[in-house]
Amino acid sequence: MVIGIADGDTLTARCGQPGAYEQIKVRLGAIDAPERQQPFSQQSRQKLSSLAFGKQVGLDCPRKDRYGRHVCTVMVPPAGAPDDRPVVDAGLVMVRSGMAWWYRGYAREQTPQARERYAAAEREAQTRRLGLWADPAPMPPWEWRKTNRAARASTADPS
């Protein structure tokens, strides 16, 4: 069960049986959502919350990232049927709704079919100017993080 939403691509899940629960941090694989200081960050977080918070989800977690988070495909119940089996890919919904980018840097970890679905979902969101694509110049989070690291490094440089 999902018990917390940190942002548009990170959640906390409680796994296991009563009395033996384990709490894990989950990073949705294949997507990157706006950082907290970026436009659409709050909307992205709210979208993931509406998809997953308080729901039983399916997790397929092939690896951990450098921060120790489980990188997973997160399957959620269909909209309007929160008690149904989790069969909807939350990451794909986030991309299709314009609340996250398809993170091509990790596309090799996806099946060819999943790559096609994510690419098509992102094109559709761009074409329809949904969510972050309504911004005239949306900056992907990986570029935003790189720019901010460089800016912080230059202000910290005493020379």
Residue 132, in any domain of the structure: yes
pLDDT of residue 83: 74
pLDDT of residue 25: 98
Residue 153, in any domain of the structure: no
**Span 53-63, pLDDT tens digits:** 999 999 999 99
What range defines the domain where residue 83 resides? Answer: 2-148
- % the chain with pLDDT above 70: 94
User: Which residues are tagged catalytic?
Assistant: 27, 35, 69
pLDDT of residue 38: 96
Residue 43, in any domain of the structure: yes
Residue 157, in any domain of the structure: no
Residue 86, in any domain of the structure: yes
Report the CATH number at residue 87.
Answer: 2.40.50.90
Contacts of 45 by beta carbon, 8 Å cutoff, 6+ apart:
5, 6, 7, 8, 33
CA distance 26 to 74: 9
Q: How many domains does the chain have?
A: 1
**Span 74-125, pLDDT tens digits:** 999 998 876 788 999 999 999 999 999 999 998 999 999 999 999 999 999 9
